[in-house]
Structure 1
Amino acid sequence: MSLAAQRRDDVMSVSQAARALGVKPATVYAYISRGLLASTRLPGDRRSWLSRAEVDAFAHRRGARPAAGAGIVEEPVTTGAEPDTSTEVGGIVGNRLLYRGRDATDLVRSSSYGAVAELLWTGEPGPSRLRPPEQPVRDLLHRLQDTMPAASLPLDRLKAAAVLLGSSDPFRYDLSRSAVISIARTLAPAFVEALPTRAKAVDEQRTGDDLAARLWSKLSDAEPSAAQLSLLSGALILLAEHGPGPSTRAAREAAASEADPYSVVLAGTSVASGLLLGGGSSLAVQAWLEEIDSVTEVPRVLADRLVRGDRVSGFGQPRYPGPDPRAATMMALLADSGGDDDRQCIVGAVVDLVRSRRNLAPNAEFALGAMCFVHGMPRGAGEAVFVIARSAGWIAHAVEEYEATPGTTAALARG
């Protein structure tokens, strides 16, 4: 027997482990995300595999009852692109980002952020059911923001808003599916409400995406064009979910402890605000792009950063075998969105130089920082876009995690 064959005898696929444990594959992914089970890879195979002995020991500790025949079912071995790290909510397959099995870049052309959020939460495509917070909550948010320092970053305001929203919701510990999704439908609009207004929001009928229209008025002084709203709407959709990355793992860990949905989102936000992770790096991208005054300055500024030991952040995404598909779509939307012509040229020159010298393509965080740079948005606006967008994915993962947590399974079933 070859070494590869011996190794396959010692491991189980996620589906096999689910049958052995008598749970859904999503629950196995939840166990992996919580560190209760470890996954591995086999040569030439992109799937996640688990140690058969570890699964058997875990099943014994849990008192699981394996399904009939679970130990002898074999699955075909393939070397094609399969989910890297994924759950039923979403994940990466090859060079595609999937939401409930649907390509996220396709959704940009056919859906609004609210409709995509419904897909992530319920598994069913449908119209947006986002709704603004009630007037008493809006008044609380406005009073809170008035007390914050004028120099507060948008992310600081969203963190404070999450705490206030949770403390003012008497049903925040109702973890039934219906209650959690009800909270989710107000969360992104409440976050938008928490940001200072910079311009009058354009009419919803002109945009097709009310959330993007209202968010633009918080991030820019200028009335947006249709192309600019398409850019922001596309960014919200493409950043809504990315599989169990670092910020989502933090959100799932909070949900595994039966933290309320507001705390789940706050946990994800705290990790995402790191300069090396998630939307946080868009802040770094925006900052170093603002050091460049003209296209001719691009080589010098990048050289100076390297001499100082600074990172030229925003390029490469190791979770994809090729370029980040989110960035490709966002950069195309950015190129068509107008804004400052000189800054558009600077962004193009940076991308061309890094691609020619390091063979790296921009990632979604670069695209987000570049959007803020080209359209003169306040420092840290990209972080706010990221957190508002990703709140949908974090809540969807929280529901999945609550379902995998014994204490909430019955409540979810009732919900």
Structure 2
Amino acid sequence: MAQQSDENYLTTAEVARRLKVKPETVYAYVSRGQLTSVRARGRRGSLFDAAQVERLAGRSVDHPGAIERIETHLSLLRDDELYYCGHSVRDLVTGQTFESVAELLWTGDLAPSEPFAAPPELVELARKAMAVAPPGARMADQLRIAVAVLGAADPLRFDLTPDSIVTTSRQLLGALVTALPGQTVDGGFAARLWPKLSARPARPHLLNSALVLLADHGLAASTIAARVAASARANLYSVVSAGLGALDGQYHGAATTLAYQFLGRALEDPVKALSDELRSGNSVPGFGHRIYQRRDPRAEVLFGLLAGEPVMDRVHDLTAKVNGFPNSDLALATLMQAYGFHRDAGEALFALARIVGWTAHALEEYAEPGLRFRALGNYTGPEVT
């Protein structure tokens, strides 16, 4: 119980003034878990920890909506480099499995990790769900359907404790990669995924590198969608579904397919392929980035692993002609062309890798006050009569 004279506590009126809200709103914050009140000795009313109030004030804006600042310990993009929990992805690619990097993002600990389990009953259910998709449906569409069905079948999906979320994500990833059409093999995630994407002899270390590089990337559009869903306390399957929905756009996950198609045309006639893109007035697929200024470290790593592959000669030719640097979309497209991946493999690979990141961001968001994202619309419609 707080002392009345304790300067580290504020009254309800003082909190309301600091947050620029009504006293009733202060109590609403308490009911939503955004503030904690204590009783003061010898006086009526509640007191509030000043430090907690300041943290809430720092995340507020001066209008009825609430657009939160997002603090994350997961990935850092700085000086054209990418880090997960303080570890350079360049180092993680050379020494860690995809499963270990997932555990790093989920728990903060980097240690050897077992392959994700694939419970037979979940695999069977996921396969039946994927089979509902019409002929010719993309693997990304099959994944989207399977996630929704697996969520509907999980009676404990609303257990949002960290241990439950991590266990669910492991099993979800294990079931999805096993259920995808194609040969089923044992091993780590990359080994199991390879025959689903290509009929060529397996090179799981290359796929493992791509998965690690794509596991998280700051607050990308799909990650924001996932965090908004988690803020509303949606279960993990719904969080992943929200991320998959945003990933489906041409400016996000589908950018890999556009780069793959462009590179395919360039392998036949590079000058015509580049001329057609320039004439369209659109940016050349697979080049440039909104955040990186001079290079995309993910692309550099993948291109280094693909050195010596014939397709790299064409990539070098294009890079010399395009005003910009190649990004991860072109690097992933190069991997696909080099090893005969299915034409829709890039989006599926991207989606599976990013489930790890969405899970990590959901874990962060579940620890924050709920419903902390609320934008204020600027009404431009007809005058009210």
Question: What's the TM-score, normalizing by structure 2?
Answer: 0.77
Q: How does 1:9-408 map to 2 (within 5 A)?
A: 56-57=19-20, 61=26, 62=29, 65-67=49-51, 87-197=72-182, 199=183, 201=185, 204=187, 210-224=188-202, 228-277=203-252, 279-294=253-268, 297-335=269-307, 338=309, 341=310, 343-354=311-322, 358=323, 360-405=324-369
Please list the CA deviations of residues 297-349 of structure 1 after superposition, one character each: whole Å capped at 9, or x if unmatched: 2122110222133441211122123311111111111225x4xx3x3432332
Letter in 1 for 2:320: D
Q: C-alpha displacement at 1:138, in angstroms?
A: 1.3
Aligned residue pairs, count: 325
Unmatched 5+ residue regions in structure 2? 1-7, 11-15, 30-34, 36-47, 56-68, 372-385
Question: Equivalents in 1 of 2:193, 2:180: separation in Å?
Answer: 9
- Provide the secondary structure at the position in 1 that maps to 2:234: coil
Please list the CA deviations of residues 224-251 of structure 1 after superposition, one character each: whole Å capped at 9, or x if unmatched: 2xxx322211110011011112110000
Letter in 1 for 2:117: P
- Provide the secondary structure at the position in 2 that maps to 1:97: strand
Please list the CA deviations of residues 206-236 of structure 1 after superposition, one character each: whole Å capped at 9, or x if unmatched: xxxx110111010011122xxx322211110
Question: Equivalents in 2 of 1:124, 1:366: separation in Å?
Answer: 31
Distance 1:406-1:306 versus aligned 2 partners, 3 A rule: closer
Q: Contact (CA 8 Å) 1:166, 1:262: kept in 2 or not?
A: yes
The CA RMSD over aligned residues, in Å, is 2.9
Question: Equivalents in 1 of 2:77, 2:353: separation in Å?
Answer: 18
Question: Equivalents in 2 of 1:378, 1:85: separation in Å?
Answer: 37
Question: Equivalents in 2 of 1:174, 1:85: separation in Å?
Answer: 23
Letter in 2 for 1:353: K
Distance 1:353-1:179 versus aligned 2 partners, 3 A rule: same
Structure number with bigger Rg: 2
Please list the CA deviations of residues 29-69 of structure 1 after superposition, one character each: whole Å capped at 9, or x if unmatched: xxxxxxxxxxxxxxxxxxxxxxxx99854898545632399
Q: C-alpha displacement at 1:353, in angstroms?
A: 1.9
Q: C-alpha displacement at 1:149, in angstroms?
A: 2.2
Question: Equivalents in 2 of 1:402, 1:270: separation in Å?
Answer: 20
More helix by share: 1
Q: Contact (CA 8 Å) 2:124, 2:179: kept in 1 or not?
A: no
Distance 1:66-1:129 versus aligned 2 partners, 3 A rule: farther
Distance 1:54-1:304 versus aligned 2 partners, 3 A rule: farther
Distance 1:147-1:318 versus aligned 2 partners, 3 A rule: closer
Question: What's the TM-score, normalizing by structure 1?
Answer: 0.72
- Provide the secondary structure at the position in 2 that maps to 1:370: helix
Please list the CA deviations of residues 271-294 of structure 1 after superposition, one character each: whole Å capped at 9, or x if unmatched: 1111111x3200111112222343
Question: Equivalents in 2 of 1:376, 1:345: separation in Å?
Answer: 17
Q: C-alpha displacement at 1:351, in angstroms?
A: 2.3
Question: Equivalents in 2 of 1:392, 1:331: separation in Å?
Answer: 23
Letter in 2 for 1:67: A
Distance 1:179-1:374 versus aligned 2 partners, 3 A rule: same
Q: C-alpha displacement at 1:264, in angstroms?
A: 0.4
Question: Equivalents in 1 of 2:237, 2:17: separation in Å?
Answer: 34
Question: Equivalents in 2 of 1:59, 1:93: separation in Å?
Answer: 40
Letter in 1 for 2:51: A
Q: Contact (CA 8 Å) 1:21, 1:59: kept in 2 or not?
A: no
Q: C-alpha displacement at 1:87, in angstroms?
A: 1.0
User: Once structures 1 and 2 are overlaid, which stretch shifts more, 390-399 or 316-325?
Assistant: 316-325
Question: Equivalents in 1 of 2:370, 2:364: separation in Å?
Answer: 12
Please list the CA deviations of residues 157-186 of structure 1 after superposition, one character each: whole Å capped at 9, or x if unmatched: 110111111011111111111111111111
Q: Contact (CA 8 Å) 2:231, 2:366: kept in 1 or not?
A: yes
Q: C-alpha displacement at 1:127, in angstroms?
A: 1.8
Letter in 1 for 2:364: E
Name the % identity: 34
Question: Equivalents in 2 of 1:104, 1:369: separation in Å?
Answer: 20
